[in-house]
C-alpha cells in the first residue's frame, strides 16, 4: 500500500500548497491513502470545517491535528460529526472527537490511524504510550488491519524516537509532527516500522516556523510584549513522507521524503 503523510499545514500558504498540489501528487505516486496534519491551517491556529472540506476535496483521507486543535472554537461542535478529523487520543475521557480510527481505501483495505500527543514541553495530557497500547490491544497489523500509521505530535525528538522503538514491528509507520522543521532521519527500524522524527511543515519556510519572521524574531531580541503572530504568506513547501507497505505483513518496505515548492530543495520519494 502507498501512503503519504503531510506535515503541519500553516496558514493560507500551506493550504494553497495542499489544494494545488495534492491531487497531482496522489495521481503521480498512485497513492492509496493520504493523511494531512491540519492543526495550523486556519491562519496558523487550528482548523475549521471549511478547511477540512477543502482538504478532503484535494485528496486527504484523514486529517490529524495537535495542541492547536481547539483554537478555532467552532471545531468543538464540529469534530464529533467528522470521523476523519482526529484530535490527540490522550486527551481526558469526555473530550469531543476521537484520536484514532480505522478507514477503508477505495479498494477496501483497512488503514488504522493513531494520533497521540507527547507530554515533554507540551500539555500535561494522559500517558501517550499507554493510550497507544490500549488502542492497539484489539488490532494486529496484517490481520485485523492492513496498515497502522501513528502521527505523534510532540516537541521532543527523544519522546518521538521512544515511541518509534516502542511500536517497532507492530505498526507500519511512526512519524512526528509539531516542530515544523523536517528531520533527516527517515528510516525503517529493525522490526520493519518506518520512522521519521518530524515531517516538517507545509508552509512558507522564509519565516520562523511558518510565522512572519520580523515579529517572531523581535520576540527573542526585545523580550517585550508583541502582537499575535501571523503566518508567512510566501510560496509554501509541501513537506510529507511517503511510506510503502508490504501487502501481506503491513510493515514498511520503503520510506522517503517528499518536498515540493517554496524555498526547500525539491525531493521525491521514488
Question: Tens digit of pLDDT for each residue in 180-206?
Answer: 999 999 999 999 999 999 999 999 999
Q: Which amino acids are annotated catalytic?
A: 68
pLDDT at 63: 98
Q: What is the pLDDT of residue 227?
A: 81
What local confidence, expressed as pLDDT, does residue 226 receive?
77
Mean pLDDT of 165-177: 98
Summarize pLDDT for 238-269 with one digit per residue, the tens: 999 999 999 999 999 999 999 999 999 999 99
Nearest by Cα to 190 from 219, 163, 217, 164: 164
What is the mean predicted confidence (pLDDT) over 150-159?
98
- Give the pLDDT confidence score for residue 270 in this predicted structure: 77
What pLDDT sits at residue 29?
A: 98
For range 141-156, the mean pLDDT: 97
> Across residues 125-135, what is the average pLDDT?
98
Look up cell 517497532; give the residue: 168
Residues 6+ apart with CB under 8 A from 9: 15, 17, 18, 36, 37, 38, 39, 40, 41, 55, 201, 202, 203
> Which grid coordinates are listed for 207?
519565516
CB 38 within 8 A of CB 11: no
- Share above pLDDT 90 across residues of the chain, in percent, rounded to a whole number: 96
Please provide the average confidence, as pLDDT, over all residues in the chain.
97
Contact call for residues 122 and 155 (beta carbons, < 8 A): yes
Query: Which residue do the cell numbers 488490532 mark?
Result: 139
Q: How many CA atoms lie within 13 A of 7 on its CB side?
A: 32
pLDDT over 70, % of the chain: 100
pLDDT, tens only, 54-112: 999 999 999 999 999 999 999 999 999 999 999 999 999 999 999 999 999 999 999 99
Strands 2-6 and 33-37: parallel
Fold held by 2-260: Purple Acid Phosphatase; chain A, domain 2 (3.60.21)
Write out the E strands in the chain. 2-6, 33-37, 62-64, 100-104, 110-114, 147-153, 173-177, 187-188, 194-196, 238-245, 252-260
Strands 238-245 and 2-6, sheet pairing: antiparallel
Give the pTM: 0.97
Report residue 123 as a C-alpha cell.
500539555
For the stretch 220-235, pLDDT in tens is: 999 787 788 999 999 9
Sign for the pseudo-dihedral over CA of 99, 100, 104, 105:
positive
Grade residue 34 by pLDDT with cuts at 50, 70 and 90: very high
Residue 234 near residue 206, CB atoms below 8 Å: yes
Angle at 268 (CA atoms; ends 18, 170), nearest 5 degrees: 85
- Which pLDDT score is estimated for 242? 98
DSSP 153: E
Amino acid at each position: 500500500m502507498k501512503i503519504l503523510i503531510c506535515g503541519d499545514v500553516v496558514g493560507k500558504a500551506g493550504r494553497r500548497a495542499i489544494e494545488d498540489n495534492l491531487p497531482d501528487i496522489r495521481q503521480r505516486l498512485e497513492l492509496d491513502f493520504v493523511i494531512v496534519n491540519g492543526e495550523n491551517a486556519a491562519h496558523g491556529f487550528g482548523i475549521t470545517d471549511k478547511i477540512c472540506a477543502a482538504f478532503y476535496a484535494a485528496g486527504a483521507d484523514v486529517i490529524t491535528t495537535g495542541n492547536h486543535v481547539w483554537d478555532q472554537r467552532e471545531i468543538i461542535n464540529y469534530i464529533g460529526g467528522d470521523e476523519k478529523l482526529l484530535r490527540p487520543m490522550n486527551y481526558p475521557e469526555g473530550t469531543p472527537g476521537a484520536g484514532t480510527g480505522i478507514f477503508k481505501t477505495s479498494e477496501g483495505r483497512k488503514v488504522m490511524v493513531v494520533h497521540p500527543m507527547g507530554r515533554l514541553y507540551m500539555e500535561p495530557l494522559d500517558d501517550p504510550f499507554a493510550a497507544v497500547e490500549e488502542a492497539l490491544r484489539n488490532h494486529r497489523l496484517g490481520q485485523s488491519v492492513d496498515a497502522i500509521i501513528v502521527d505523534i505530535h510532540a516537541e521532543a525528538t527523544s519522546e518521538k524516537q521512544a515511541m518509534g522503538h516502542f511500536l517497532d514491528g507492530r505498526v507500519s509507520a511512526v512519524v512526528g509532527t509539531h516542530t515544523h522543521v523536517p528531520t533527516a532521519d527517515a528510516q525503517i527500524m529493525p522490526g520493519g516500522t518506518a520512522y521519521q522524527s518530524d515531517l516538517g511543515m507545509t508552509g512558507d519556510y522564509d519565516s520562523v516556523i511558518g510565522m512572519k519572521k520580523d515579529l517572531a524574531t523581535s520576540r527573542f531580541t526585545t523580550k517585550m510584549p508583541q502582537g499575535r503572530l501571523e503566518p508567512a504568506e510566501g510560496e509554501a513547501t509541501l513537506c510529507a513522507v511517503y511510506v510503502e507497505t508490504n501487502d501481506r505483513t503491513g510493515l514498511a518496505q520503503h520510506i522517503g521524503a517528499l518536498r515540493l515548492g517554496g524555498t526547500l530543495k525539491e525531493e521525491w520519494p521514488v
